[in-house]
Amino acid sequence: MALEIPASHKDLVDRPIVVTLATLMPDGAPQANPVWFDYDGEYIRINTARGRQKDENMLERPYVTILSVDPENPYRYLEIRGKIVESTEEGAVDHIESLSRRYTGEPYYTAEKPQGNQVRVMFKIEPTRVLTR
């Protein structure tokens, strides 16, 4: 059963806010990256290219934290701790296109901006703990 995002902080997953994704390096040290995301009502979904450090970290150590800070009030935030329950290349290009439109209003892949030989991967994160302030 999916954890509920409190109504008081639901806007922090509904709005296109660049969130911080924290993963664990091989030596146990944290690594943090700004990422685009969406929430389908059950899972937080993020997208990256195969071979990036966060891709490798999430595949090897599937526990992550997402931190969404209110752009108008930096003391109001939503922290979602969770576990990677799926990583897939299937649908990942459509997902990054959807995220790009959500965040920029523009397509991700264009003739002027081809993204090289990236292989995209989408990760689904199941929330295991939700903290608010």
Q: CB 53: neighbour CB atoms within 10 A?
A: 13
Give dist(CA 60, CA 58) in Å, integer. Answer: 6
Give dist(CA 129, CA 4) in Å, integer. Answer: 9
Give dist(CA 93, CA 127) in Å, integer. Answer: 24
Q: What is the pLDDT of residues 44-86, one digit of tens each?
A: 999 999 999 999 999 999 999 999 999 999 999 999 999 999 9
CA of 68: how far to CAs of 37, 74, 81, in Å?
Answer: 10, 10, 11
What architecture is domain 7-132? Roll (2.30)
Q: Residue 1's pLDDT band (boundaries 50, 70, 90)?
A: low
Chain-wide mean pLDDT for the chain?
93
Extents of the domains making up the chain:
7-132
Q: Is the pLDDT of residue 10 over 70?
A: yes
pLDDT score at 109: 74
Q: Is the pLDDT of residue 114 over 60?
A: no
User: Residues, the chain, total?
Assistant: 133
